[in-house]
Chain A
């Protein structure tokens, strides 16, 4: 005889906990993107005085 998990079992196993993992991975990726954006911004801030110096000379 063939058996399978009930639909409720499949949904309970596949929805709440895996969903938390998906949220976590999205949150990690967003954090990485934000950090990268901030790095780019701070680098450009560092470059600006140099550019101004070059323009002035």
Chain B
């Protein structure tokens, strides 16, 4: 790694710490620490949601897949863009208002408990344990991804990369809480956006023009130019179905809850969509032009196409910035998941179960310690990247989508939804995802269908059937549901 690149990295880390410190000064209570005091504006909200939602996959995985197989890999991008838009359009406003009307719920488990007047605490416990376990593995897997990347690309030792990366993320997340996460995500989202716009445009100029690029790619394999090459109907449906996952991702849903007003969500949706579509198309064309650019010297690891472009097309300062964008994509996702996992531990379990009357000061410190504890756990887990426990993360996107997606959608839009319905839906969704995936791996299900599809619809059905079995919706719950329709928050 050149000294210039190292300088850019150090500057980047310094900016993150400054943001963390400014956020610390603005944080005075638990609502600030885990939900930014519901003061997120549309620009910070829109772009930071994009950065936290899109992990290293956007800059490494997607361009790598397109580089390897051509345009038939774009379906997942289409599914994600549509799913995210629908999520902002329908879930965003309603959950922002409903969480405030329902006893000012600060977390997703808190909302489910308040929405259904659940005195048994079962919804809170199931939801927060699920969040805690899956995010701990998600965070660990993100740390492994980042450390492996820096080890293979720059020759830094795996442990050094892991420990430095973890220390920086812990630093700004622990001191600054949600404000720090949202503002650093915004900054990181801008870097990702610029990087994903710049690389394909400069690559295209280097290739000559669009026609030259297409001719070179077509001469390698004409299938690279066809979105249907090597695909099946179920395969395309499976890729599009990734978009269903958005309705249940806690780190995305919480951004809606943190926006200042529901009007900000309308503007935030537009900001997010422009960012998201440009970033996904940028990632697709980075991989696509990579096919033509590296025709004489194919890449051993397709997932490094973005990095190799950054290193070959630009001067060291710009290269440093582009590589920082890769790190931004990884770090922004980890920090968002970290703050949600910490809130599950501190707000949902510690306060919700044991210390209902704890002071704000005590809760803030518990939340900070929760960030530290979860980070240390995830880092220790990441020290052994071969650990089979980490394979659990493969279920996380589909798992969250199936467990929380139908539960949230029906809680928001169907007044007859009951507590038992939601509980059944969460369990059916989670179990179906795991069982379906294992049965496919064992060859008992003879075709491939992404597990989120049976998981999501199984869960949806379970919520509806169990809710209809026994009418336990209280008058108070119906009145609250209707108050949300009239609210002008």
Q: Residues of A at under 8 Å CB distance from B?
A: 1-6, 8-9, 12-13, 16-18, 20-21, 23-25, 27-28, 31
Contact = CB atoms under 8 A, between A and B. Distances in A.
Given A9-B227, A20-B85, A3 B273 contact: no
Contacts of B74: 12-13
Interface of B: 71, 74-75, 77-78, 81-82, 85, 214-215, 217-219, 222, 225-228, 263, 266-267, 269-271, 273-274, 277-278, 280-281, 284
A13 B210 CA distance: 15
B210 to A, nearest CB: 10
* Interface of chain B, main secondary structure: helix
12 contacts: A3-B218, A6-B228, A8-B226, A8-B228, A9-B225, A23-B85, A23-B273, A24-B271, A27-B266, A27-B269, A28-B267, A31-B263
Given A12-B78, A24-B273, A4 B214 contact: yes
Contacts of A17: 77-78, 81, 277, 280-281
B225 A3 contact: yes
Contacts of B82: 16, 20
Given A12-B78, A13-B74, A31-B267, A5 B214 contact: yes
A12 B273 contact: no
A21 B71 contact: no
Sorted nearest first, the 5 A-B pairs with minimum C-beta distance are A3-B218, A24-B270, A24-B273, A28-B270, A9-B227
A25 B227 contact: no
A24 B225 contact: no
A19 B416 CA distance: 35
Given A13-B74, A17-B78, A6 B226 contact: yes
Find the residue from A9, A23, A24, A25 having the highest chain B CB count within 10 A: A24
Nearest to A4: B214
B277 A20 contact: yes
Contacts of A2: 215
B270 A3 contact: no
B227 to A, nearest CB: 5
B241 to A, nearest CB: 15
Contacts of A21: 273-274, 277-278
Given A6-B227, A21-B274, 7 more contacts: A5-B225, A5-B226, A8-B226, A9-B225, A12-B78, A25-B274, A31-B270
Nearest to B70: A9
A8 B215 CA distance: 18
Nearest to B78: A16
A28 B78 CA distance: 22
Contacts of B77: 17
B249 to A, nearest CB: 19
Find the residue from A1, A2, A28 having the highest chain B CB count within 10 A: A28
Contact of A3 (B78, B214, B263, B271): B214
B9 to A, nearest CB: 32
A12 B227 contact: yes
A1 B219 contact: yes
Contact of B71 (A9, A18, A27): A9
Find the residue from A1, A3, A18, A23 having the highest chain B CB count within 10 A: A3
A21 B269 CA distance: 10
A6 to B, nearest CB: 5
Given A12-B78, A27-B269, A18 B226 contact: no
Contacts of A4: 214, 218, 225
